[in-house]
Amino acid sequence: MNQLQSLRGMVDILPMQIQHWQAVELVAREQFHRAGFKEIRTPLLEVTELFSRSIGEATDVVGKEMYTFSDRGNRSCTLRPEGTASVVRAVVEHGLLSKGLQRFWYGGPMFRYERPQAGRQRQFHQIGVECLGIDSPRCDVEVIAMAWDLLHSLGLNDLVLELNSLGTPEDRKKYRVQLLDWLHDRRDQLDVDSQKRLQTNPLRILDSKDPKTCSLLKDAPLLEDSLCNESSIRFESLKHTLEVLGIPFALNPRLVRGLDYYCHTAFEITSRHLGAQATVCGGGRYDGLVEQLGGPASSGIGWAIGMERLVLLLDDSFKAASSPDVYFVNKGEEAEIKALDIARRLRAAGLAVELDSSRASFGKQFRRADRCGAKWAIILGDDEMSNGEVRLKKLHSTNDPSIVKELVTSSSDLDGLLAFLRS
């Protein structure tokens, strides 16, 4: 029979890779907890309107990348392409703001029908935070600093924080007119995708990766010059606070972000080690989104880190411990049953026990025990069985001769056995 494969862009995360993921999740969870962010888990499947209304019809995500289908009740459903819309929907639906909850974090798979390549998949994973109902630019800095600190505590130092202000919707309306004027005169010099965006989403042209368009845009009018006084003051305050905290940043006037709902602060954290997919974290302020999804007028800011890109950047020092405490070498009809019984009881007492079920020779089982990184091997064969004993062997002992390397103990004395294994 022919072999089945995963869908294109849907990637298995294998046991030898999972240690990196778990290490990141552990550090992130700790950090979110210390900062008072509460976890929220929303469904992978939502009504399509949630994303078309919040992300915007004219964006790449809604226009080209969503996994949308009708369910058996003929409702249009979409696999979530990002987390913010779902979190805001859940917060509004359950009235969490009025219950005093404002800081949330989430993690899990997202789905976008994109062209798969290194650092770009169709099912990928994000961890992200959302901070709702706090308008102050200090909140923007707190949120940006969380991403910055998280990445640094994972050992990533070679990162750039890119920053821009998108102003208010009025600022952008004003800028849109200026930009369109300027672009219309240069229409023929734009790449095909950007020409299409002239009608739908002209600001996104600034984000084009096409080299010719990029070099043309160097002389385009700047969004910064269209900011009203209040927006400029806000942006200055943000930059000042980052400077006080010692978080370096680079201004990027062409950073517009992909989704329609952003305003004021927009930022990305990039790494030069990721090739074309350089952005590991993206985020910004989205005042108005809560209201747009039927909630009370309230502000919001958040970011999302792409886990696959983050894991690509990690070095091997960031692995969660995955070796068992004990490797159980066992062979013989009765010995194997006894081994299973002891393994269960040791596991219930909190030890990680890998039970060899191969029935291979003792030599082979010992080689596996050595490879798996366990501290101890327990040995139980016919001889030990008939004496009512188990043998213990310290596998990764130091050169210190005072450390016991091999000893025998009663197979019925679980407490004695545990005392050795925990030593």
Angstrom distance (rounded) from CA 315 to CA 313? 7
Residue 10 or residue 97: which is nearer to ligand ATP going by CB?
A: 10
Q: What does each C-alpha distance from 298 to 91, 97, 131, 146, 182 come to in angstroms?
A: 12, 9, 11, 21, 35
- Output the residue with the shortest Cβ distance to ligand ATP: 306
- Compare residues 114 and 325 and give the one whose CB is closer to ligand ATP: 114
How many CA atoms lie less than 13 Å away from 367 in the CB half-sphere? 5
CB of 83 or CB of 381, closer to ligand ATP:
83
Which lies closer to ligand ATP via its Cβ, residue 37 or residue 376? 37
Residue 280's φ and ψ, nearest 5 degrees, are -95, -25
CB of 348 to ligand ATP, least distance (A): 40
CB nearer to ligand ATP: pick between 164 and 365: 164
- Closest CB to ligand ATP among 281 and 342? 281
Mind spelling out the 3-state secondary structure of 297-331?
Answer: CCCEEEEEEEHHHHHHHCCCCCCCCCCCCEEEEEC
Place of tokens 């910064």: 224
What residues contact residue 407 under an 8 Å CB cut-off, 6+ apart? 391, 392, 420
Joined tokens for residue 364: 């082979």
CB of 106 to ligand ATP, least distance (A): 13
Q: In angstroms, what is the minimal distance from the CB of 351 to ligand ATP?
A: 37
Q: Tell me whether residue 147 or residue 342 sits nearer to ligand ATP (CB atom).
A: 147
Q: How many CB atoms lie within 10 A of CB 366?
A: 18
Least distance to ligand ATP, CB of residue 82, Å: 5
Helices (H), 218-300: 229-245, 289-292
Min dist. Cβ of residue 7 to ligand ATP (A): 14
CB of 117 to ligand ATP, least distance (A): 9
The minimum distance between CB 67 and ligand ATP, in angstroms, equals 12
Using CB under 6 A, list all residues that contact ligand ATP.
82, 112, 114, 119-121, 124, 126, 258, 277, 279-282, 304, 306, 308-309
Tokens of 163: 């920053």
Integer Cα distance of 231 and 227 in angstroms: 6
**161-167-168-170 Cα dihedral, nearest 10 degrees:** -150
